[in-house]
Chains A and B, each alone.
Chain A
Amino acid sequence: MPANRFNGYTEYGVGIGLRIPHYRHILQEKPVVDWFEIISENYMVDGGRPLTVLDQILEQYRVVQHGVSMYFGSAEPLNREHLKRLKQLVRRTGTPWLSDHLCWGSVDGRYTHDLLPMPYTFEAAQWTAEKIRQVQDFVEVPVAVENVSSYAEYHVSEMTEWEFLNEVVERADCGILLDVNNIYVSSQNHSFDARTYVDAVPAERVAQIHIAGHSKFEKYILDTHDHPVLDPVWALYARAIERCGPTATLLEWDDNIPTFDEVHAEALKANRYLLQAAPEQVELEAVR
């Protein structure tokens, strides 16, 4: 199950997000890490240190691209310049799949740089799926869409978030980057059962899983990526692995970033669950 057409038939283990504060440590110490996820937009430049570091990382590690501003759900055409640069980067990294969010964030060419929640309507699903297909056709690697954390819901929605996700990925015939932290955050903000969401996702389309920490406020939870993964999220992760098998897993840590070793140690906790799902395979990965 984990190696599927949505992740380029790969069997990746536990990875971590490549972040600037860790560059020096990674390049000097060359720690054993199964793979790194990069934020595509940070390397869609013409030259300089970002690309130099990326090339050095690519000499040693496998890299998967994750985007934050394709905005599949924005009701405007795709940005051709963005697509062109994304494809150049895909060629550079050899990413077996790439991901971005099931959200919108730009209107009339103006960017919010945020991951705004979709209205869960059939019109939006159709539009979004068409744009995902266009991206997939253009970049020529499988695309996985990630469910976002949200703090608002719309009156116009005609279905649940997981129904919308399923509607989009079926229409687009694309993969899913299942973010179990985002499911937990949204479940608390919108009072739904997170496990119902995880159970509703088509397991055969899950290309990758995200885990992360969040921050709890008096009336809502924010997806801050500045903490270790909390127990309810690990529980959802366990359930996702139970359903999907040992799937490529990535820890996101984007704020108050601790040392590389701390981040890596937190990510490797995922192996507890991956080992239960396929002990032999995960042990082999660990040895390698």
Chain B
Amino acid sequence: MRPSLAELQRHVAAAVMQPLTQRETMRQRNASGISNAETAAQWIKPNDRLSSFERLEIYNRQYWFRVFASFEEDFPGLQAVLGRRRFQALMRAYLEANPSTSFSLRNLGRNLEAWTRTNLQFVEPYAALALDMLRLEWAHIESFDMAAVPSLQPEALGEVDEATRIGLQPHVMLLALQHDVDNALIALQRDAGSSNSSVNNAASARVVRRVRSLSGVQQQELFLAVHRWQDTVYYKRITREDFQLLRAIRGGSTLMESIEAAFAGSTLQDEARAAYLQSAFQHWMAMGWLCPAQEAAC
């Protein structure tokens, strides 16, 4: 009986998306031990120059070249932390476990942090630094093209009370880190968002990127707001109080609850807190970070 369209596509996609060998050729057998030559022969016609296996292998290689290139472009900092060999192992394992579920390659790395936390063997002995770096790189991708909604206008502040909820711009990403990875990543010259640039051409060969090395990364508690200003992504160092306050605002807390959250564990003197709050809100308003709660939720 003729196979259905769905059946054909499941078999071919499984072959196309199966991992390559270390030499980046198609494996002789799939994960279930079934011969790929037999699978290819079942679905694909040979021609006078290429066997069924070789024709299927073109797509198998193209698939991986494409996702490898996208992932490497999105996480140069992580590659610099881990070095080429470790990074390649992590990338292959991650992409095997997390094939793209989005129409855009921009989202390829969205599960990386969660996956890495449960697969620390790929980032040891640099786990803390690697996690900091990949979180910053993902925040950069998010901030690059997340929405900028209408900001909270100064006149709206007149109507604010303790029970008011306000919002935080979707493109502002908040990070609490253990290393000063911000300067290191800037040094690696990030100037774009994700590699999401979708194209419809084939790659003639796998692009080999130069692995940059990191220098001078120090262990330190660091709070960052990754945000966009005039279409450029910036990493702004913020205080613990800023981080806790902004995180509470993002979480939907009232202003009073957010202010309480800001000073939890704070060493800021009581008499300095009012001035701090005035200055912080003034700055965030000027940056356009605050917005009506309903806008942030959109």
CB distance from B162 to the nearest CB of A (A): 31
Chain B residue at minimal CB-CB distance from A110: B99
Whether the pair A215, B204 counts as a contact (CB closer than 8 A) is: yes
Determine if B213 is an interface residue (Cβ-Cβ < 8 Å).
no
| B:44-70 near A, CB below 8 Å | 44-45, 47-50, 52, 54-56, 58-59, 62-63, 66-67, 70
Binds A, one of B23-31, B143-151, B267-275: B143-151
Residues of B within 8 A of A51 (CB): 145
Determine if B135 is an interface residue (Cβ-Cβ < 8 Å).
no
| B:137-171 near A, CB below 8 Å | 144-148, 170-171
Determine if B39 is an interface residue (Cβ-Cβ < 8 Å).
no
Determine if B104 is an interface residue (Cβ-Cβ < 8 Å).
yes
Determine if B106 is an interface residue (Cβ-Cβ < 8 Å).
yes
Whether the pair A111, B100 counts as a contact (CB closer than 8 A) is: yes
> Known pairs A49-B232, A121-B5. 14 more at Cβ < 8 A?
A39-B200, A47-B145, A49-B231, A75-B4, A75-B9, A110-B17, A112-B100, A116-B16, A151-B58, A152-B58, A153-B45, A219-B54, A220-B49, A223-B202
Q: Which range contains the number of A residues in contact with the other chain?
A: 35 or more
Chain A residue at minimal CB-CB distance from B298: A46
Whether the pair B204, A226 counts as a contact (CB closer than 8 A) is: yes
Determine if B228 is an interface residue (Cβ-Cβ < 8 Å).
yes
Chain A residue at minimal CB-CB distance from B202: A222
- Interface contact tally, CB-CB below 8 A: 175
Chain B residue at minimal CB-CB distance from A256: B204
CB distance from B203 to the nearest CB of A (A): 7
Determine if A165 is an interface residue (Cβ-Cβ < 8 Å).
no
Checking B147, B192, B232 against A47 with a beta-carbon cut-off of 8 angstroms, the contacting residue is: B147
Checking B10, B63, B67, B103 against A41 with a beta-carbon cut-off of 8 angstroms, the contacting residue is: B103
Residues of B within 8 A of A212 (CB): 201
Residues of B within 8 A of A79 (CB): 103
B side interface size, CB within 8 A: 60
Whether the pair A154, B44 counts as a contact (CB closer than 8 A) is: yes
Shortest beta-carbon contacts, A-B, top 10: A46-B147, A225-B201, A45-B145, A75-B6, A48-B145, A49-B231, A152-B55, A107-B13, A219-B49, A41-B198
Checking B4, B52, B56, B67 against A123 with a beta-carbon cut-off of 8 angstroms, the contacting residue is: B4
Residues of A within 8 A of B48 (CB): 191
Residues of B within 8 A of A156 (CB): 2-3, 8, 43
Whether the pair A101, B4 counts as a contact (CB closer than 8 A) is: no
| A:126-184 near B, CB below 8 Å | 127, 149, 151-156
Whether the pair B9, A107 counts as a contact (CB closer than 8 A) is: yes
CA distance A23 to B169 in the complex (A): 27
Whether the pair A112, B16 counts as a contact (CB closer than 8 A) is: yes
CB distance from B72 to the nearest CB of A (A): 15
Determine if B278 is an interface residue (Cβ-Cβ < 8 Å).
no
Interfacial residues, chain B to chain A (CB-CB below 8 A): 2-6, 8-10, 12-13, 16-17, 42-45, 47-50, 52, 54-56, 58-59, 62-63, 66-67, 70, 99-106, 144-148, 170-171, 192-193, 196-204, 228, 231-232
A68-B198 contact, Cβ under 8 Å, with A114-B66, A154-B45, A255-B203: yes
Determine if A20 is an interface residue (Cβ-Cβ < 8 Å).
yes
Whether the pair A47, B171 counts as a contact (CB closer than 8 A) is: yes
CA distance A81 to B102 in the complex (A): 10
Chain A residue at minimal CB-CB distance from B43: A154
CA distance A76 to B246 in the complex (A): 41
CA distance A111 to B49 in the complex (A): 29
Whether the pair B103, A124 counts as a contact (CB closer than 8 A) is: no
Residues of A within 8 A of B199 (CB): 39, 68, 225, 254-255
Whether the pair A41, B193 counts as a contact (CB closer than 8 A) is: no
CA distance A156 to B43 in the complex (A): 8
Chain A residue at minimal CB-CB distance from B101: A109
Whether the pair A226, B50 counts as a contact (CB closer than 8 A) is: no
Whether the pair B196, A42 counts as a contact (CB closer than 8 A) is: yes
Among B2, B192, B200: residue with most chain A CB under 10 A: B200
